[in-house]
Amino acid sequence: MNRVYNFNAGPAALPEEVLQKAANSLVNYNGLGLSVMEMSHRSHDFETILEDAQNRLRDLAQIPENYRILFLQGGGCQQFAAVPMNLMSTGKAAYVISGTWSKKAAQEAKMYGEVYTLASGEDQNFSCLPSCEGLAVPEDASYIYLCQNETIHGIEYRTLPVFDSAAPLVVDASSCFLSEPMEVAKCGLMYAGAQKNVGPAGVVIVIIREDLIREDVWPGTPTVMRYSIQAKNNSLYNTPPCWSIYMCGLVFEWIQQNGGLKGMQARNEAKAQMLYDFLDKSSLFKPKAKPGSRSIMNVTFSCGSPELDAEFVALTQERGFVGIKGHRSVGGMRASTYNAVPLEAVEALVSLMQEFENNR
C-alpha cells in the first residue's frame, strides 16, 4: 500500500512501525482473544498497559518523582478550563499571548477569574514570540500560562522562559511534546494533546507537580475535571480512552528505540532546517515566522497571494501530499514535521516547491 506524505497538523502522522504493531494486535491482543478496545479498563491487562505507558513517558521526559502523569480526555481545549478551575486559587492568573491557542486559553480563563496579559505578540500578527525577559508578574497571580508551540503560526519557545515569580508555570506543549528534550522541572503543570507527536486523538496528557493537586478548586469544577480525583484514581475515575493510551505507549517505545528525545531532536531539526533553508532563499515562497521564533514542528509559509497558495495546495494534493493547506484562520501553507514524518517526505516537499517555483 502506498502511503501519502502526511503533513497534517493533528491528528498527525504516526510511525509506520507503530501502526503495523497495533494492526497485528487489533483483533487479538497478546493472545487474549480480544482487542484493547474491548477489554475492561479495570482489568489487570489494561492496568499493565497504562503503567507501561506512564513508566516509558517518565523515563523519556525525565519527569521527576514528585510529578503525576494523568491520561485524560477532552483534549487541550478542555484544559483551557481545567487549569483555572483547579489552579486559580487567588482568582487571578497571568498569561503570555503568543498566538491563537494561548489567546483562546486566556479567554476561557476569564470565565473563572481575572487574567493579566504579561506579554502579547498580536501586534506582530503572531509572527514572532513576545519576549518574556524581565516581565513583572503580579504577586497575586496563581500561575503563569504559556503555549510553548503555537501550531497555527509556526512559532515556538525552544527553551522555556524563566520568570521572577513564585507562581508555577503552566505550559501547553501539545505541538512540541516529546519532539526534543523537555523541561518538565521548570513547570508546575505541562499538558499536551496526544494527536500531534505521541498518539491518536482522544487523550490529553497532563503532567502535574504533586503540591498543585489540591482539593480547594473552583466550586463549580466537575468531578471528572478535578486533578485531585483523577490523580487519586490513577486516571481511572471514568473509563479512559483505552486504545489511545495503548497507542501512546507504543509510540513512547518507538521513541526509546530511535534515540530517545535527543534522537527526535536531531531528526526534527534536520527536517525544519531543510525547509527553512529553502524558504529563506526562495524567490516565491516566503516563511511567515521570523528567525529566532521559528518552530521546528510547524513550518508556515506563503506564495504571497491566496490564488498562488491555492494553486500550490492543489498541486500537493495531486502529488500525494496531505495537510499542506494552512489553518483556515490565517491561510497560506503549513508543513507539520512531527516526529513520525520522515526526512524523505520533507525532501519530496522541497523538490515540489522548487518545481512549482521554476514553472512560474
Q: Where are the beta strands (DSSP E) in the chain?
A: 5-6, 67-72, 92-97, 114-120, 144-147, 149-150, 155-156, 169-172, 189-193, 204-209, 286-287, 298-302, 321-322, 333-336
Contact 191, 167 (CB under 8 A): no
DSSP state of 81: H
**3 state DSSP class of 192:** strand
DSSP state of 327: P
Catalytic residue among 92, 101, 288, 325: 101
Distance CA 205, CA 223 (A): 18
325 is catalytic: no
Of 92, 196, 288, 325, the active-site residue reads 196
Q: Residue 141 has which C-alpha cell?
A: 497571580
Candidates 21, 59, 110, 172; catalytic one: 172
Specify whether 262 is catalytic: no
CA–CA gap between residue 196 and residue 265 (Å, rounded): 15
Q: How many angstroms separate the Cα of 56 from the Cα of each of 61, 118, 126, 251, 253?
A: 9, 35, 35, 10, 7
How do 298-302 and 92-97 pair as beta strands? unpaired
Grid cell in block for residue 229 = 480525583
- Residue from 121, 126, 50 nearest 298 by CA: 126
Whether 101 is catalytic is yes
Nearest residue to 16 via CA among 322, 348, 246, 251: 251
Residue 95 has φ and ψ, to the nearest 5°, of: -125, 140
Q: Tell me the catalytic residues.
A: 101, 172, 196
